[in-house]
Amino acid sequence: METTTIHEALRWASSFLNEQNLEATAGEWLLRHHMDMDRALLLASLREPLAPGVFEDFQSDVRAYASGVPVQHLTGYDEFFGRRFMVNPDVLIPRPETEELIVAVLERLPKRTRTILDVGTGSGTIAITVALELPNVAVTAVDLSSKALDVAKKNASALNASVTFKQGDLLTPVSAQKFDVILSNPPYIPEGERDSLAVHVRDYEPSSALFAGVDGLDIYRRLVTELPTVMEPQGLIAFEVGATQGERVRSMLSSTFSKAETEVRYDINGKDRIVLAYGDMTT
C-alpha cells in the first residue's frame, strides 16, 4: 500500500487551500495537530510517512476548514501567551491582539495589587494568564454563560491556575466586592457588521461574545456606569476595544473617573486596541 509523506500531505493541503483562496498555513497547523509535532520537528520530518489513516483524517479537517470551520474548533485548542487553551463553539477563540491587553496590564499594574477582576471571561484566557503571571494576586472571573464557564474552569484546572469563577451579568456577581484591577475584552462589533464578517467567525463563534448594539459600545456603556461601585480608590481599568472605538471608550472612562489618567494604546497593526484608566479612581 502506497504511503503519503509529511511533505506530500503539506503540498496537497497548500494546493487545495490556494485553490480556495484560503490561508495555506492552516494545513501546516492541522498536520502538526494530527502528528503531535511542533513546527521544527514537522519540518525536520518531511520525508517521514504518515501512519495509516492519518492522511485521510487530515484531508477531512482541511476540507472542513475550507467550508468555514475554524482551525481551533478542529484541533480543540489555541495558543495564547505561550500556553494552550481549550476552545469550542461556546467561547470566543483567543486573538493575538488580546495578548497586548495582558502586556498593558502588567506594565501598568498598581503597586500592592491584591485583587483582579476579568469581566466576560469566556474561555478564561485573560483571567488564567493573569493568575499565572501574578501568582500572589487573587483573580476573579465573571461570565453570563454557564457553558463558557465550564470551558474556563477546565482550562484553569489543566493549567493549574487559581481563579474564582462566578456566573452572572457583568458586575452583578461581584457587586459587594472591590478590586484593584478590572479588565475586560467584551463584545464590541456593531450589529450592522454581522454580514461582513468572515464565515468562520460569524457562523462558528458565539454571537453573545461578538456583537454589542448598533455601534458596538453597549457593553462599555454599561460597564463604565457600574464600575465605580467595585473599584478601589487607586487602581487600573483595562479594556480591549475594536478599531476606531478607542477615543470614545477613553472618553467614557475619563468622564466617569475624572481624576484618573487615561490613554489609548495601539496594537502591532497600528489600530487602537487597548484603553486604560489608572491612578485615582474616586468619583
Residue ranges of domains in the chain? 6-67, 89-280
Q: Among the CATH numbers 3.30.450.40, 3.40.50.150, 3.40.50.970, 3.40.605.10, which is that of 89-280?
A: 3.40.50.150
CA-based nearest residue to 8, from 16, 18, 74, 39: 16
DSSP string, 221-236: HHHHHHGGGTEEEEEE
pTM over 0.75: yes
Name the residue type at position 226: E
Tell the residue number behind the cell numbers 504518515, with chain if given.
Answer: 50
How confident is the prediction for the chain on average, in pLDDT?
94
Above pLDDT 90, what percent of the chain?
Answer: 86
pLDDT band at 210; cut points 50, 70, 90: confident
Report the pLDDT value the prediction gives residue 203, as an integer from 0 to 100. 83
Give 79's strand partners: 84
Report the pLDDT value the prediction gives residue 205, as an integer from 0 to 100. 86
DSSP string, 176-212: T--EEEEEE----B-GGGGGGS-HHHHTTS-GGGTB-
β pairing state of 115-119 and 179-184: parallel
Least confident of 18-22, 90-94, 146-150, 201-205: 201-205
Is the distance from CB of 220 to CB of 252 less than 8 angstroms?
A: yes
Q: What is the pLDDT of residues 110-148, one digit of tens each?
A: 999 999 999 999 999 999 999 999 999 999 999 999 999
Across 182-201, b (16+ Cβ under 10 Å) vs e yields bbbbbbbbbeeeeeeeeebe
Q: What is the pLDDT of residues 162-171, one digit of tens each?
A: 999 999 999 9
